[in-house]
Each structure stands twice: as C-alpha cells, then as structure tokens.
Amino acid sequence: MAPIRLRHPKGVTTLQVDLDAFTVLDLQQEIFAVTEIPPSQQELKAGYPPHALTLIPELPLESLGLKAGEQLMVTQMRGATRPPPAANAVSDVAPAAPMTGLTRAQATGPSTPAPAPSAPASGPDYVPTEGGYLVHRIVPDDNSCLFNAIALVFEQDMSKAQQVRKIVAEEIKKDMDTWNEAILGRPREEYITTISKPNTWGGAIELAVLAKHYNTEIASVDVETGRIDKFSPPAESDSGNRCVLVYSGIHYDAATIAPILDAPDDFHQTVVPREGEDADSDPILAAAKKLADKLRAKRAYTNTATFDLRCQICQKGLKGEKEAREHAQQTGHVEFGEY
C-alpha cells in the first residue's frame, strides 16, 4: 500500500492505496468514503499547478501514473448535488472518455527539472533532482526536532509530534524482546516514560521504531560527513518507499520534493519510491548528499565531540556527547540542550 494525499472540501486526508492492484474506481470509492462525493461527480486534479485527470473507472490505477506520496485534489462537479450519506450507498460510475492528464512526475520529465525561479536569499536550501527540487525543510529547535520532522513527513502536520512520540512509546512497550534493557541502555519503563516527554531528544532507536510503524525506509543524511544512515522496516511489511531527514549532529530536519521552488508546502512530496540503495543508483539519495554538501559549506552542523551542552534537569554544563552520555549514566538525566 502507498500513501496518497487527498485535499478535499472537508480537509486533507492521507489515503492508503495499492498502486499495482487498484482500479481507478477503487480509488474513487476510497475518495467517496472520505468525502461523500460519488465517483460520477468527482473532479480529480494532480500535480502543481494542478491539472485535471480524466477518470476511466475500469482501467487500472497505474493508468493515471500516480506515485507514492502524490498529492491529489478532489472537488464536486458544478451543478451536482451531494446525496446524504448512507451506510450502504452504491454509486454510479462516469462514462468512459479518452484518457488525458499527466502527473507532475510525467509533466516535468524523468531527469530534467524545470528552470529554477529566483529563490529569496532567506529561503531554504535546495538542490535540483528528478521531477523538481529537494528542499531543506527546517523544523523547530525545541528538543522534539526528530518527532517534528517525522510528523511533517508522514502526517503533514508538525503539531502531531507528540502523537509520534506516543507511537514510539507504545511500540517499545509491546515489543519486549527487541527493545530490551540492554538495547535501550536503561530500564524499559524509565525509557518509555522519558521518551514520552516533549523535551527529550530522539535518535536511532526512535527512527528504527518509526520506520517499522510507517513501513517506510528513513534515510538520514549527516551534514558534517555526507554519510547516509538508513533505517528500514521489516522486509515483510516494507512498502518500497523512502523519506529523507537531514541531521546536523544535534538536530533533525526533513527534506521534501517540490515540483517548483515556490510551490506551497502542501504540494511537496514527502515520501518517494526507492530506486536504488546508494547515491549512484538513487536520484533522491544523490540529491540528499548534494544538499548535505551545500549545508556543510555553510557550516550548518555541530561537531558532537566538542559542542557545549547543559543538562536541563540539574543545569550542569557539559562538553560534547561523551560527557553527556556519562552524565546520563551517572544521574539518569537525559534531557539536554545546546548553549
């Protein structure tokens, strides 16, 4: 199953669709369940700027050329009257028509992005990639940056960061074998309580848990070294998709794909299909390394061996990750901030 983001009159919903097995009508029925707009009255648009898709219900969904993470907009045809919701409503289908319309990936072409408009000097960093631009999406520096970045990517809403923390806590709680005391580095209940607090940092353990939960590989590119660390879901539930995070040494941001540089955030693609396992074979990983190069040139990273920290519990000053780890082992304090 793959995520498709749907904008509709009631708001925004992420649908899970089978790009290989669904028909166009299956997608229309999923849209109907969310919006109450019958298939025969749905007007569907994709890409940016949005362009109309002609829907032929009998054809496979792949005929529309949609990809995981695609953004769709649905409206009701003018003059159509929406029926009241019914538990067992059965809708008619639109008559067949010549298929038209391209997704944004098809419209921009497989390898040559559109010419870049002039970006404001204060805007986020970006690099061109297939179908658009990989854009550095900065999240708040509030000790919940990892959870903010994951919420932005998978929930399209950073206000759901605490909900993402809850996902981690519940997964650790129910899987005692994988997340035992030896792996966590402290008693399980203590770890669960701590990671649930809104000012506690997350790291590799949380990324591994979230990759499994969202059935998606999380690729974290380190700004200082350009190294890409990949956190993969179990093979049996792997969706074949990937997202990208940017790690500065003490802070996580997201990286998403914009069809054009001034596209609104809502039109960014946050999850993409994996095309390869390294930067030589996957264009998004290649773009992620170039983005890290660009940020490194601006020294937008922190050397964790030498940076200054303060324990947020006892206010003790610490130097580097090593002292922070020792302090945590001695005191049980795990809430730190840079200063």
Instruction: Please choose, from the candidates 178, 271, 259, 160, the residue with its C-alpha nearest in 3D space to the C-alpha of residue 218.
Output: 271
Q: What is the pLDDT of residue 105?
A: 28
pLDDT confidence tier of residue 289, bands split at 50, 70 and 90 = very high
**CA distance linking residue 336 with residue 201, whole number of Å:** 8
Instruction: Please choose, from the candidates 203, 310, 312, 199, the residue with its C-alpha nearest in 3D space to the C-alpha of residue 323.
Output: 310
The full set of domain ranges for the chain reads 2-108, 126-297, 308-338
Q: What is the pLDDT of residue 67?
A: 86
Over the stretch 188-202, which tens digit does the pLDDT of each residue have? Answer: 999 999 999 998 889
Residue 40, pLDDT > 70, answer yes
Distance between terminal CA atoms of the chain? 44
Residue 110, pLDDT > 50, answer no
Question: CA distances (Å), 322 to each of 102, 230, 305, 307, in order?
Answer: 52, 24, 7, 10
How many residues belong to the chain?
A: 339
pLDDT confidence tier of residue 8, bands split at 50, 70 and 90 = confident
**CA distance linking residue 127 with residue 288, whole number of Å:** 8
Q: What is the pLDDT of residue 2?
A: 87
Domains 2-108 and 126-297 share a fold: no
pLDDT confidence tier of residue 295, bands split at 50, 70 and 90 = very high
Q: What is the pLDDT of residue 150?
A: 97
Domain 2-108 has CATH 1.20.1740.10: no
Q: What is the pLDDT of residue 304?
A: 58
Q: Which two tokens stand for residue 253?
A: 């941001």
Question: CA distances (Å), 234 to each of 11, 180, 187, 210, 288, in order?
Answer: 32, 18, 25, 11, 24
Neighbour order of strands in the sheet with 51-53: 11-17, 2-8, 71-76, 42-46, 51-53
Highest mean pLDDT among 95-109, 219-233, 300-314: 219-233
pLDDT confidence tier of residue 308, bands split at 50, 70 and 90 = confident
**CA distance linking residue 225 with residue 289, whole number of Å:** 9
Residue 293, pLDDT > 50, answer yes
Over the stretch 215-230, which tens digit does the pLDDT of each residue have? Answer: 999 999 999 999 999 9
Q: What is the pLDDT of residue 91?
A: 30
pLDDT confidence tier of residue 132, bands split at 50, 70 and 90 = very high
Q: Find tokens 């669709």 and name the residue.
A: 17
**CA distance linking residue 214 with residue 220, whole number of Å:** 15
Q: What is the pLDDT of residue 321?
A: 64
Q: Which two tokens stand for residue 175?
A: 């899987």
Enumerate residues 6+ apart whose C-beta is below 8 A from 101.
46, 51, 52, 53, 54, 64
Domain 126-297 classification at class level: alpha beta
Tabulate helix, strand, coil % of the chain (nearest 5): 30, 25, 45
pLDDT confidence tier of residue 247, bands split at 50, 70 and 90 = very high
Q: Which two tokens stand for residue 270?
A: 């946050």
Give the DSSP H or E segment for 218.
Answer: strand 217-222
* Residues designated as active site: 142, 145, 251, 333
DSSP 318: E
Instruction: Please choose, from the candidates 244, 241, 263, 262, the residue with its C-alpha nearest in 3D space to the C-alpha of residue 254.
Output: 244
Q: Find tokens 């029926």 and name the residue.
A: 83
**CA distance linking residue 111 with residue 131, whole number of Å:** 7
Mean pLDDT, range 150-155, rounded to an integer = 96
Q: What is the pLDDT of residue 303?
A: 66
Q: What is the pLDDT of residue 99?
A: 25
Q: Which two tokens stand for residue 60?
A: 């496979």
